[in-house]
A and B are shown apart, each in its own frame.
Chain A
Amino acid sequence: MKLKTGSFLWCLYLDKLYCLLSLRNMRALVEYFSLLDPHRHNTMNDMMFYHFLHHVTNWNRKQIMKVFHMLDWEAAGEITFDQFYVLVCLLLAHENHLEEQFIFRHSRHVFDLLDLDGEMKIGAESFRKYDFLFNIKKHELREFYRNFDITGDCQKHLNYKEFKLFTIFTMDKYQEKQKVEKKEEQKALLEKKVKGKAKEKLLNLNYSLSQVLKQMDHI
């Protein structure tokens, strides 16, 4: 998923730690939401929702409607500002590659959203259905179901506690990945510096050699 460059959402800043908007940003979002609410119901219907997401993201119709049905779990045919806010935070998290962080911070919300049947259990299907939204990879899912179905009640269903464990696990992985990336960056920088210094030394040596040769010629 890619957010449209220069769109309003592009201007919002998502807190990287808590994956939430500041109050000031939220106020701007309220204003934006009210602009997209021509019927003054303080809601957004499916048509408006589709055109909004179609405008700001590169999702297709099918994906957009999937997201709408996920948010509109009461089947009211419209979403409120609260749901819109969650969606915007999710979009921004996706854009900033903070999906793991978002799922970890808002595990309860994410669990409720993925629990499509309201059975307090998430099936593998739900994950697959919304993998474009949470960016959960297939091999991670397999590993997840193999390792975290502690209760063993249903092979392909996880309750909230198991899901919470999964979020902690993915968060650890994410942090490890970040550490490795940082180390690699530092290594690359060090190598650059070392190379630069070696070049300088070589140049100095060349210069001193040439001077010695000149002196020899004079003699």
Chain B
Amino acid sequence: MEEKPFKALAKNDSVKLSSKSDIRNLWTKATLSQPKLHGLTNVYEDSDQEDSSSRNKPGQWYRRKTDPGRASGKWDDRNKGSIPQGELNGPTLEQSPNSFQRNHVEGVQDSGELDSSVSSLNIMKHTHHRAYWEEQQDRLPLPLMDLMENEALEILTKALQGYRAAIGKDHILTNQLQRKIEAIQKRSRRQLVPE
């Protein structure tokens, strides 16, 4: 019942999609057509009321980052090369940014619903631009992440030496820092060796 407007919109947009080959144009179009999608957002908001447990609260993106478990899980996903279903289906031109974020947070649970609703959209068209979409939607550009990690690793390594000299190598804080460095190193190694 809730999917009807979404489907209709997807069909309309799929016609537009075929006419424009440049993905950047699509993005601009999607952004420009946000006010038109207001109804759609409302539908999603209604559906959220039914499933209040998985509702995305305002400002969750920040808290989500601070949640260590969540952050590491996110990284694992990326390293395994298994991009969450919501993002793969994600061109989500028909969706508002809110609905995308909600999707991302809810992860796999919503992916089934999306599969059925976006089936009319030819997803294969966008597979070449997957990296671009990832960058545009929810994640930071991969080279920037690499840069950040390498720099953080250098800083943390120097800090570790300082910790060892100041509070000793067996101190709980030193151990935490050591573990953090090892985790970052592992991640970067995994990225270097694709599965």
Q: Could you name 6 residue pairs across A and B whose Cβ atoms are closer than 8 Å?
A: A8-B151, A28-B148, A31-B140, A38-B173, A47-B166, A51-B156
Q: Are B155 and A52 in contact (CB under 8 A)?
A: yes
User: Closest CB of chain B to A83's CB: distance in Å?
Assistant: 16
Apart from A47-B166, A51-B158: 19 A-B pairs, beta carbons within 8 A: A7-B151, A8-B144, A8-B148, A31-B148, A35-B152, A35-B184, A36-B155, A38-B173, A38-B177, A38-B180, A39-B173, A40-B68, A42-B66, A51-B155, A51-B156, A54-B158, A55-B151, A55-B154, A55-B158
Contact of A34 among B71, B158, B163, B173 (CB under 8 A): B71
A207 within 8 A of B: no
Chain B residues near A40 (CB, 8 Å)? 66, 68
**Distance of A40 Cα from B70 Cα, bound (Å):** 13
Q: Tell me the B residues contacting A by CB distance below 8 Å.
A: 61-62, 65-66, 68, 71, 140, 144-145, 147-149, 151-152, 154-156, 158-159, 162-163, 166, 173, 176-177, 179-181, 184
A-B interface contact total, Cβ < 8 Å = 64
CB < 8 Å neighbour of B140 from A28, A38, A54: A28
Of A30, A32, A50, which is within 8 A of B62 by CB?
Answer: A30
CB distance from B114 to the nearest CB of A (A): 24
B156: A residues at CB distance < 8 A: 35-36, 38, 48, 51
Provide the bound-state CA to CA distance between A145 and B176, in Å: 49
Q: Please, how many angstroms separate the alpha-carbon atoms of A11 and B65 in the complex?
A: 21
Determine the distance from Cα of A28 to Cα of B143 in the docked complex, in whole angstroms: 12
Report, as a range, how many residues of chain A touch the other chain.
Answer: 20 to 34
Q: Which residues of A contact B (CB under 8 A)?
A: 7-8, 11, 27-28, 30-32, 34-36, 38-40, 42, 47-48, 50-52, 54-55
Whether A27 contacts B61 in the complex (CB less than 8 A), given A35-B184, A47-B163, A55-B155, comes out as yes
What are the 5 tightest A-B residue pairs by CB atom distance, in nearest-first order? A38-B180, A35-B152, A38-B177, A51-B159, A51-B158
Instruction: Determine the residue in chain B with the shortest Cβ distance to A34.
Output: B65
Interface contact B65-A31, CB-CB below 8 Å:
yes
Partner of A35, one of B144, B149, B176, B179: B149
Complex-state Cα separation, A110 to B180, whole angstroms: 34
Instruction: For the complex formed, measure the closest distance between the CB of A92 and the CB atoms of chain B, giving whole angstroms.
Output: 16
Docked-complex contact B140 and A27, CB < 8 angstroms: yes
If A39-B173, A47-B162, A48-B159 touch, whether A28 touches B144 (CB-CB below 8 Å) is yes
Across-interface contacts of B154 in A (CB, < 8 A): 55
Q: Closest Cβ of chain B: how far from A127's Cβ, in Å?
A: 30
Q: Contacts A30-B65, A34-B71 known; A8 to B140 CB distance under 8 Å? A: no
What is the CA–CA distance of A36 and B184 in the complex, to the nearest angstrom?
11
Cβ-defined contact, A35 with B148, below 8 A:
yes
